[in-house]
A and B are shown apart, each in its own frame.
Chain A
Amino acid sequence: MEDTAPKRKVLWTLAVFVVLVYALIPVIWILSLSFKTPETIGDGRFLPSEWTLNNYDAVFNTGFFTSALRNSIGIALIATLISLAFASMAAYAITRLDFRGKSAILAGSLAISMFPAISIVGGLFDLWRRIGLYDTWLGLILPYLSFSLPISIYILSAFFREIPWDLEKAAQMDGATPMQAFRRVILPLAMPGVFTAGILTFIGAWNDFLFANVLTSTDASRTAPVALAFFRGASQFQDPSGAIAAGAVVVTVPILIMVLIFQRRIVSGLTAGAVKG
Chain B
Amino acid sequence: MADIVLDEVVKRYPDGFEAVKNLNLEIADGEFMILVGPSGCGKSTALNMIAGLEDISDGELRIGGEVVNTKAPRDRDIAMVFQSYALYPHMTVRENMAFALKIAKAPKEEVDRKVAEAAEILDLNQHLERKPANLSGGQRQRVAMGRAIVRNPKAFLMDEPLSNLDAKLRVQMRAEVGRIQKRLNTTTVYVTHDQTEAMTLGDRVAVMLSGVLQQVGSPMDLYNNPTNLFVAGFIGSPGMNFMPATIEDGVAHLPMVDVRLPQNVLERMGRDINGGRKLVAGVRPEDFEDATKVDRDRRDHGTTFQTRLDLVEAMGAEYYAHFGVAVDRQLRSADLSELREDLGGVEEQSDTGDIVVVARLNPESDARTGGTAEVWIDATKLHFFDEGSGEALTHVRH
On A, residues with C-beta under 8 Å from B are: 164, 166-167, 169-177, 180, 184-185, 188-189, 270-276
Contacts and interface: CB of A to CB of B under 8 A. Distances in A.
A275 B86 contact: yes
Given A170-B80, A273-B131, A273-B134, A189 B72 contact: no
B88 A274 contact: yes
B89 A274 contact: yes
B73 interface: yes
Nearest to A163: B89
| Most B-side CB within 10 Å, residue of A174, A184, A275 | A174
A229 to B, nearest CB: 45
Nearest to B164: A276
B131 A274 contact: no
13 contacts: A169-B73, A170-B80, A170-B82, A171-B88, A171-B99, A172-B53, A173-B73, A173-B80, A175-B74, A176-B103, A189-B90, A276-B84, A276-B137
B133 A273 contact: yes
Contact of A170 (B52, B78, B86): B86
Nearest to A188: B90
A172 B103 CA distance: 10
Given A170-B86, A172-B53, A172-B72, A274 B132 contact: yes
A177 B74 CA distance: 7
B220 to A, nearest CB: 33
Contacts of A166: 82-84, 86
A174 B81 CA distance: 11
Contacts of A188: 90
8 smallest A-B Cβ distances: which pairs?
A273-B133, A275-B84, A174-B100, A166-B86, A273-B132, A170-B86, A274-B89, A175-B74
| Most B-side CB within 10 Å, residue of A169, A172, A175, A270 | A175
Contacts of B78: 173
Nearest to B134: A273
B229 interface: no
Contacts of A164: 84, 86
A267 to B, nearest CB: 12
Interface residues of B, number: 32
A273 B140 contact: yes
B104 A173 contact: no
A166 to B, nearest CB: 4
B87 A273 contact: yes
Contact of A189 (B85, B89, B137): B89
Interface in B137-178: 137, 140, 147, 151, 164
A167 B86 CA distance: 5
Given A273-B133, A276-B164, A173 B51 contact: yes
A173 B134 CA distance: 24
Given A173-B79, A174-B103, A167 B88 contact: yes
A259 B78 CA distance: 44
B135 interface: yes
B50 to A, nearest CB: 11
A173 B153 CA distance: 11
A176 to B, nearest CB: 5
B90 to A, nearest CB: 5
B165 to A, nearest CB: 9
B70 to A, nearest CB: 15
A257 B370 CA distance: 80
Given A167-B86, A189-B90, A175 B103 contact: yes
Given A169-B86, A274-B88, A174 B140 contact: no
Contacts of A270: 89-90
Contacts of B90: 188-189, 270
A272 B89 contact: yes
A273 B87 CA distance: 8
Given A167-B88, A177-B74, A276-B137, 7 more contacts: A169-B51, A170-B87, A170-B88, A273-B134, A274-B132, A275-B85, A276-B164
A272 B73 contact: no
Given A172-B73, A173-B51, A177-B74, A274 B103 contact: no
A202 B221 CA distance: 68
B89 A175 contact: no
Nearest to A173: B80
A175 B88 contact: no
A113 B48 CA distance: 40
| Most B-side CB within 10 Å, residue of A167, A170, A189, A275 | A170
